[in-house]
Structure 1
Amino acid sequence: MALIHDSIPDSEICKKATQLVTEVSPTSLCNHCIRTFLFGDLLGIRDGLKCDRELLYLGAIMHDLGLTERFDAEQRFEVNGADAARAFVLEHGLSDEKAEIVWDAIALHTSIGIAIRKQPEIALVHLGATADLLGMRISDITPETVEQILDVYPRLGFNQQITQLMVSQVKRKPQTATFTWLAEVGRCCIHGFVSPNWNDMLNSSPFAE
Structure 2
Amino acid sequence: MTEDKAVPTNGMLGIVIPDSQLAREATQLIRDTESELLFNHSTRVYLWGALLGKQQNLVFDPELLYIAAMFHDIGLTSVFRESHLRFEVDGANAARDFLRSHHIDEADVPKVWTAVALHTTPGIPEHMHGEIALVQAGAGMDVAGRGFEEFTDEQRAAVIEAYPRGPDFASKMIDAFYDGMKHRPGTTFGTFNDDFLAHKDPGFVRVNVCSIMLNSSWAESSRR
Which TM class, normalised by the smaller chain length?
Answer: over 0.9
Structure having the larger proportion of residues in helix? 1
Q: State how far apart, in whole Å, the 2-side matches of 1:19 and 1:6 are.
A: 21
Q: State how far apart, in whole Å, the 1-side matches of 2:36 and 2:185 are.
A: 26
- Alpha-carbon deviations, 1:23-81, whole Å to 9, x = none? 11110110000000000000111111121111111111111110111144220110111
Contact 1:25–1:68, Cα closer than 8 Å, also in 2: yes
Contact 2:118–2:136, Cα closer than 8 Å, also in 1: yes
Q: State how far apart, in whole Å, the 2-side matches of 1:5 and 1:79 are.
A: 32
CA RMSD of the aligned region, Å? 1.6
Contact 2:77–2:180, Cα closer than 8 Å, also in 1: no
Larger Rg belongs to: 2
The answer as to 2:143 corresponding to 1:133 is yes
- Alpha-carbon deviations, 1:83-105, whole Å to 9, x = none? 11110111012122111111000
TM-score normalised per structure 2? 0.88
| Matching residue of 2:25 | 16
Contact 2:42–2:72, Cα closer than 8 Å, also in 1: yes
Q: What amino acid maps onto 2:41 in structure 1?
A: H
- Alpha-carbon deviations, 1:158-189, whole Å to 9, x = none? 32222112212332111111121221112222
| Matching residue of 1:111 | 121
- Alpha-carbon deviations, 1:6-25, whole Å to 9, x = none? 71010110111111111111
The answer as to 2:75 corresponding to 1:66 is yes
The answer as to 2:50 corresponding to 1:46 is no
Of 168, 171, 181, the match for 2:179: 168
Q: State how far apart, in whole Å, the 2-side matches of 1:105 and 1:53 are.
A: 13
Q: Which moved further from structure 2: 123-132 or 160-169?
A: 160-169
SS in 2 for 1:8: strand
Please list every run of 5 or more consecutive structure 1 residues that lacks an aligned counterpart in the other structure.
Answer: none
Contact 2:87–2:181, Cα closer than 8 Å, also in 1: no
Q: Which moved further from structure 2: 121-130 or 2-11?
A: 2-11
Q: What does 1:81-92 correspond to in 2, within 5 Å?
A: 81-92=91-102
| Matching residue of 2:110 | 100
Q: Which moved further from structure 2: 35-44 or 188-197?
A: 188-197
The answer as to 2:182 corresponding to 1:203 is no
| Matching residue of 1:142 | 152
Q: State how far apart, in whole Å, the 2-side matches of 1:135 and 1:196 are.
A: 27
Q: Percent identity?
A: 36
